[in-house]
Structure 1
Amino acid sequence: MPPTRTPMTPRKPMAHLAVPVALFLLAVAPTASRAQVAADTDAVLPLLVTRGHAPAAALLTDDLSGTRYAHAEAADEVGREGTPEQKPEPLRRADHFRAGSITKTFIATVVLQLAAEHRLSLSDSVEDHLPGLVRGKVGSRGEGRSRGEGGNRGDDGRRITLRALLTHTSGLADFTAVTGGTTPVTPRQAVRLALALPPAVPGRFFYSNTNYVLLGLVIEQVTGNSYVIEAERRIIAPLRLTGTSFPGARSSLPEPHGRAYSADGADVTDLDPRAAGAAGELVTTLPDLNRFYGALLGGELLRPRQLREMLDTGAAHGAYGMGLYPVRLPCGTTVWGHNGRISGSYVRTAATVDGRHVLTYRVNTDAPEDPDVEPALLAAEFCPRTLR
């Protein structure tokens, strides 16, 4: 799984301790086999609270048998002074929340649509569309040089293709290493911050939010419209994702919504989305994410050639496609999707390659503290018990 380097605050120990959990199942699939899968998944969900130390968690699944929603939250919490705090509010199915790097799947889809329309090529360089913007520190002869090493730097837009941006193999540093994912910046400021950092190795997978900030600028240069307008026109409106938006500078969430908490327990529900931009600005809902990933993998948004390219992980040596990444489960099933982490919110969507079975879960803090809970949840949902 790619590192969750989505715009975020640094991890700190949780200030509260989750104790006995209440789990609520709001819909059960009609078949016995599906009911068993539901029971297995719902047994793992509370671990996001008890072991993952999230105030609350929720999941939504869609497959041919129907839709199912469940949520869990701590019965109560212990605060910083050891006194009981108010029980967390349940997460509701219709709640809006910040989706972090799941934004990247939307951006990649727009870029691949433009490629299908021959308005750009994935082999185009960044320089072709954004001349002069991406240039690393230059040496005395004008060639890209690494600081004190005398070798060519990788962060030169003349050498970086759009394919490299999509697959996180550009070698560009991640601007959120400076901002922590909480400081609002313009796209060009984000690029300048990244270029001031030591670059990664070009051609090698390195997850960097800077790549998708640049893709947002490329979309604007090619179409004359912002990535927001293009994503709304090409994805959000056709799929009727009524709970999905790019908030721009709006720091509040649309109604309905719950509260969001940083890793240290601070309320971070209000957040300036310009801290993430095209790399992680999106606000959405659980039903909208299931609809989007089901439609994408089901072939509703991309032509077959572009969808194959999106799922091709060769450039990133199996780690990442284009705005999607695969996870092979213990039973042999591979699921595709993305995660998103931003201050106060973590979300993960996974789906079968045909898009017919989709799971999205979320917690209202930066990320689950126990990294083993997510793989267990995916296996419980997508692997028949006999194959685990």
Structure 2
Amino acid sequence: MISRRTGLAATAAALLTGASGPAATAAAPHRAPGLRSRLQSDVNAIWATGATGVLAEVQSARGRTTARAGSADLRAPHHPVPRDAYYRIGSDTKTFTATLALQLAGEGRLALTDTVERWLPGAVRGNGNDGRRITVANLLRQTSGLNDYLAVSPDSADAFTPDGYHRSRFRTTAPEDQLKAALSRPPLWVPNAEHPARERRWGYSNTNYVVAGLIIEQVTGNSWAQEIHDRIIEPLGLRHTFTPGTSPYVPRPTATAYTWFPGCARPTDTTLASGGGADGSVISTTHDHGVFLRALMSGRLLHPAQLAAMKETVVAEDWSAAPGVRYGLGIAWRPVAGRSGGIWFHGGTHLGIVSESGVTPDGARAATSATFTLRMGDPAQDAQDLAALRLVDRALTG
């Protein structure tokens, strides 16, 4: 449910909740062969780091190009990853949630300067935490100072073992309980008392989006899942995107999500997993995810003022996977050589799944990828992440 922002050690701390097989490509026949071959080369590079299966797509108004490598399951190495595989997009969910909040702001139903206290009276109190000094903008921009509920969970250590995973894979936790866990510790900081929305200290916390989801429900009177469906999924025709609720299952077609837990020589099948909500529960496909990103950046989902607010960023100093990252409202920006204006992205990690994507500032082109492998505490994961970033950068500068 998080992006790869601080390396594998932090990724493992925040999750808490030799591949073989054929490679193949699929592309719209009218696309230039250069894009097809480059995308396949970059997918192969991710696979070569030891990933079990990889899927990627580049799309624009001219069409789509896809590539895949590896196998859908290590027990059937000659079965490739399905071209339309479902997967958990993890913290890429946060961009959906931020879009919902900004839509409500555009309708005048809430303001980015509203405090948490305004919508959830007394919900953020204790141990120095103070919802009167945290705004909606602080939540969406990750400048609230709230602890990540995953990192401070009392059973966090147990979650990083195969046995711990098997015990918890059907277990769900209410957002109120997630918030309670976060509030059990003093905050990292409390935003400026006079102008909290102007806070520039940044710290990634899934708790911010748990609270944002609760505010969306309070404002609308509907569940966060219903608002996602009614405002984004249905209008965009995302027929392969949904929120699973308490179900731990991913629909077919999919590929096995493998996690190498710390100190384990063999991977664990972590395809079944419960947990997450507004911070990281959406299931989608590379195609649907790309459609969403292009619609967002092209202005189909937000009014100009709200899209501009989404792009107001602060420095994300500990996002080590890529230099120069700045974080806006549920989406991040990074400079890319050869691409004037850089690219917008987020990224998401779930047990056994790494989602990496990006979109041009005008929404003209998007690149999305899913790698069905997560290796906690293994330097090979760093190589996998860098290869995925390179795929996105090359796809959006070609």
With the shorter chain as reference, the TM-score category is: 0.7 to 0.9
Residue deviations 1:249-288 (CA, integer Å, cap 9, x gap)? 111112322221112411111111xx21210011111111
Equivalent residue letter for 2:327: Y
Equivalent residue letter for 2:150: T
Which residue number in structure 1 is paired with residue 30 of structure 2? Answer: 30
Q: 2:178 aligns with which of 141, 166, 190?
A: 190
Residue deviations 1:271-322 (CA, integer Å, cap 9, x gap)? 11xx212100111111110111111111111000001111111486862111
In structure 2, relative to structure 1, the CA distance for the partners of 1:311 and 1:5 (3 Å cut) is farther
In structure 2, relative to structure 1, the CA distance for the partners of 1:166 and 1:75 (3 Å cut) is closer
* Counterparts of 1:160 and 1:364, CA distance in 2: 36
Equivalent residue letter for 1:3: R
Which aligned pairs between 1:341-356 and structure 2 lie closer than 5 A? 341-356=349-364
Residue deviations 1:164-220 (CA, integer Å, cap 9, x gap)? 000000000101112558653111111111112342234311010000000000011
- The reply on whether 1:72 has 2:69 as its aligned counterpart is yes
Residue deviations 1:226-260 (CA, integer Å, cap 9, x gap)? 11111111001111111111111111112322221
Q: Is the 8 A contact 2:23 2:80 kept in 1?
A: no
In structure 2, relative to structure 1, the CA distance for the partners of 1:216 and 1:311 (3 Å cut) is same
- The reply on whether 1:340 has 2:348 as its aligned counterpart is yes
Q: Is the 8 A contact 1:57 1:73 kept in 2?
A: yes
Q: Is the 8 A contact 2:179 2:211 kept in 1?
A: yes
- The reply on whether 1:98 has 2:88 as its aligned counterpart is yes
- The reply on whether 1:327 has 2:334 as its aligned counterpart is yes
Q: Secondary structure at the match of 1:170?
A: coil
In structure 2, relative to structure 1, the CA distance for the partners of 1:361 and 1:75 (3 Å cut) is closer
Which residue number in structure 2 is paired with residue 117 of structure 1? Answer: 107
Q: Is the 8 A contact 2:202 2:314 kept in 1?
A: no
Q: Is the 8 A contact 2:36 2:66 kept in 1?
A: no
In structure 2, relative to structure 1, the CA distance for the partners of 1:161 and 1:248 (3 Å cut) is same
Which residue number in structure 2 is paired with residue 175 of structure 1? Answer: 149
* Counterparts of 1:315 and 1:369, CA distance in 2: 22
Equivalent residue letter for 2:311: L
Equivalent residue letter for 2:19: A
In structure 2, relative to structure 1, the CA distance for the partners of 1:11 and 1:262 (3 Å cut) is farther
Equivalent residue letter for 1:118: G
Q: Higher helix share goes to which structure?
A: 2
TM-score, reference length from structure 1: 0.83
* Counterparts of 1:283 and 1:260, CA distance in 2: 13
Residue deviations 1:77-101 (CA, integer Å, cap 9, x gap)? 7xxxxxxx64274221222111111
Moved more, 226-235 or 309-318: 309-318
* Counterparts of 1:372 and 1:301, CA distance in 2: 30
Equivalent residue letter for 2:63: G
In structure 2, relative to structure 1, the CA distance for the partners of 1:336 and 1:29 (3 Å cut) is farther
| Identity across the alignment (%) | 35
Q: What's the CA shift for 1:5?
A: 9.2
* Counterparts of 2:178 and 2:56, CA distance in 1: 33
Q: What's the CA shift for 1:44?
A: 1.7
Q: What's the CA shift for 1:28?
A: 5.3
TM-score, reference length from structure 2: 0.81
Which aligned pairs between 1:210-225 and structure 2 lie closer than 5 A? 210-225=207-222
Which aligned pairs between 1:126-205 and structure 2 lie closer than 5 A? 126-137=116-127, 144=128, 155-177=129-151, 178=153, 180=156, 184-201=172-189, 202=191, 203=199, 204-205=201-202
Which aligned pairs between 1:207-286 and structure 2 lie closer than 5 A? 207-264=204-261, 265-272=267-274, 275-286=275-286
Q: What's the CA shift for 1:35?
A: 2.4
Which is greater in Rg? 1
Q: Is the 8 A contact 1:23 1:72 kept in 2?
A: yes
In structure 2, relative to structure 1, the CA distance for the partners of 1:321 and 1:88 (3 Å cut) is farther
Number of positions where the alignment pairs a residue of Structure 1 with one of Structure 2: 351
In structure 2, relative to structure 1, the CA distance for the partners of 1:254 and 1:8 (3 Å cut) is farther
Q: Secondary structure at the match of 1:46?
A: helix
Q: Give RMSD over aligned pairs.
A: 2.7
Equivalent residue letter for 1:284: S
* Counterparts of 1:263 and 1:188, CA distance in 2: 30
Q: Which runs of 5+ in 2 are unaligned?
A: 160-164, 192-198, 262-266, 318-324, 376-380
Q: What's the CA shift for 1:156?
A: 1.1
Which residue number in structure 2 is paired with residue 150 of structure 1? Answer: none
Residue deviations 1:129-175 (CA, integer Å, cap 9, x gap)? 001111131xxxxxx3xxxxxxxxxx310100000000000000101
